[in-house]
Chains A and B, each alone.
Chain A
Amino acid sequence: EADIYQTPRYLVIGTGKKITLECSQTMGHDKMYWYQQDPGMELHLIHYSYGVNSTEKGDLSSESTVSRIRTEHFPLTLESARPSHTSQYLCASISGWGNTIYFGEGSWLTVV
């Protein structure tokens, strides 16, 4: 089924650990995004990509990095997690000509 998948859905890790949040979409979309969202609060764009080998920083300063080696895959990496990184991370995608942005189910990260 065409969708956008995120793993892990829930994660608790210790301060200083490295973590990669995975995002894959099976819709062949070119543009992909990562948003950070505290529960019920606004969406903050942290990274986006127009296609393979394209990555850009978003509006919110982030200590994370992304890569786009394959069209369907857009992982987000935190090299050294801190409690301030505790949040929900939403991956999203849109087709090149499309207008509808599709969101994944989110990854809830807690850093202790």
Chain B
Amino acid sequence: GENVEQHPSTLSVQEGDSAVIKCTYSDSASNYFPWYKQELGKRPQLIIDIRSNVGEKKDQRIAVTLNKTAKHFSLHITETQPEDSAVYFCAASISAGYTGNQFYFGTGTSLTVIP
């Protein structure tokens, strides 16, 4: 099955700096890659996603890039703010029609933004 690795496990940045979290996957059939943010004591929530037919996607201060050849994808957060502090999970999914969508999550990255 799919194996998703995520690095780093912890990341501290100064407010205003950029943060980058990287994930690799093993199954070339994976075609959907979401990122989830989980604040302390809260549920994980989708913040951005990318499909395999796209190389990059941006939404305000966050962006995701995908390199299908190398089987890795990354989350980029620019101009970080204290409210960006959370645990971030990447995931890979094989979407195969109605019965598809088996998700494989990375191990999470705890991001701390220092004011």
8 Å CB contact of B98 from A96, A103, A105:
A96
Contact A42 B98 (CB under 8 A): no
Q: A40-B108, A42-B106 are in contact. Are A103 and B101 (CB under 8 A)?
A: no
Which secondary structure dominates chain A's binding surface?
loop
Which of B18-26, B41-49, B67-75 is the interface stretch?
B41-49
Which of chain B's residues have a CB closer than 8 A to the CB of A42?
Answer: 89, 105-108
Name the interface residues of A60-89: CB closer than 8 Å to any CB of B. none
Query: What 1/0 mask marks residues of chain B from 75 to 115 whose CB sits below 8 Å from any chain A CB?
Result: 00000000000010101010101110101011110100000
Q: How far is the CB of B41 from chain A (nearest CB, A)?
A: 8
Task: Pick the most buried of B34, B42, B43, B108: most chain A CB atoms within 10 A of its CB.
Answer: B43
Binding site for B on A (CB under 8 A): 31, 40-43, 50, 90, 94, 96-101, 103-106
20 intermolecular pairs with C-beta atoms under 8 Å apart: A40-B38, A40-B87, A40-B108, A40-B110, A41-B107, A42-B89, A42-B106, A42-B107, A42-B108, A50-B99, A90-B44, A97-B97, A99-B32, A99-B34, A99-B95, A100-B46, A100-B49, A101-B46, A101-B91, A103-B44
